[in-house]
Amino acid sequence: MQTEYLLSPLIDVAREAGAAIMQVYEQMLADKRFQASLKDDGSPVTMADQAAEDLILPVLARVAPEITVISEENASSHSISAPPCFFLVDPLDGTKEFLKGDGKGSFTVNIALIDNGVPVLGVVYAPALDRLFYGNENGAFEVSSAGTRRLQVREIPPDGAVAVASVSHRDQQTDEWLEQQRIEHTVAIGSSLKFCLLAAGEADVYPRFGPTMEWDTGAGDVVLRAAGGYVDLPEGGPFLYGKDEYRNGAFIAGGRYRVK
């Protein structure tokens, strides 16, 4: 599937959404009040989530009106049976990290396109870090103040693989897996940035056993695959999209690292 025609408008709106998120973030920092409401599933939602979604959805409707959009903040879309082709949108991935106000900036805007269960276009923007990643059939790239560079997963370092793990959702099963794999070096970071660090050659493997939704992973998944990496089921086999209620099971994402 050719996706190049969608790339520019998706990058532009991801940046616009990121700017809207940072307006809310900076005001919260100034006020020293990080507030959120709770959704029906108990997860937090902020003014920034809604502001970003309000920018993204009209652009998708304009550039690709024929493609269904499944978005985290549009609860009614979660009951739609997955069509062959659809967008996945997480306007603010890493809301818990956003609410910490710790200056680490590990929250992102995620926009992905899925074609027959496979992610084929993804844009991930971390506005607090000004790092924008994208991937499609032409490869994976990062755009920053230093310019644009092509991404490629790295060879495993001589002193051993580095794993990335969730800041807010790391669990015992992840720790046991890391011990089994004899991985001693880990980096803790939130949001879809975990996929992007693998794609950028800054880490090697990301095991995930706790719950995620497809809009959490779709965009970063594309970037990683386009950089030469993979996202598989722990037992092997492809990690596909369009599952019931768009809920993910466990997965292993990696660059050149292979499970022992």
What pLDDT, in 10s, does the model give residues 127-174?
Answer: 999 999 999 999 999 998 889 999 999 999 999 999 998 766 678 899
Tell me the average pLDDT across 69-86: 96
Q: Which residues are bridge partners to 124 per DSSP?
A: 110, 133
Residue 38: per-residue pLDDT = 66
Ordered domains of the chain (ranges, CATH): 4-150 (3.30.540.10), 162-254 (3.40.190.80)
Query: Residue 40: pLDDT above 70?
Result: no
Angle at 13 between CA 12 and CA 14, to 5 degrees: 90
For the segment 1-17, what is each residue's pLDDT rounded down to a tens digit?
899 999 999 999 999 99
Query: Residue 243: pLDDT above 90?
Result: yes
Residues 6 or more apart whose CB falls under 8 angstroms from that of 36 comprise: 44, 45, 46, 95, 99
The DSSP-derived string for 138-171 is TEEEEEETTEEEE--PPPPPTT--EEEE-SS---
Query: Residue 124: pLDDT above 70?
Result: yes
For the segment 168-185, what is each residue's pLDDT rounded down to a tens digit?
667 889 999 999 999 999
Query: Residue 32: pLDDT above 90?
Result: no
Cα distance between residue 178 and residue 248, in whole Å: 21
Residue 168: per-residue pLDDT = 63
Tell me the average pLDDT across 95-110: 90
Residue 45: per-residue pLDDT = 79
pTM exceeds 0.75, yes or no: yes
Tell me the average pLDDT across 203-223: 97
Cα distance between residue 69 and residue 57, in whole Å: 8
- The rounded mean pLDDT for the chain is 94
Tell me the average pLDDT across 231-254: 96
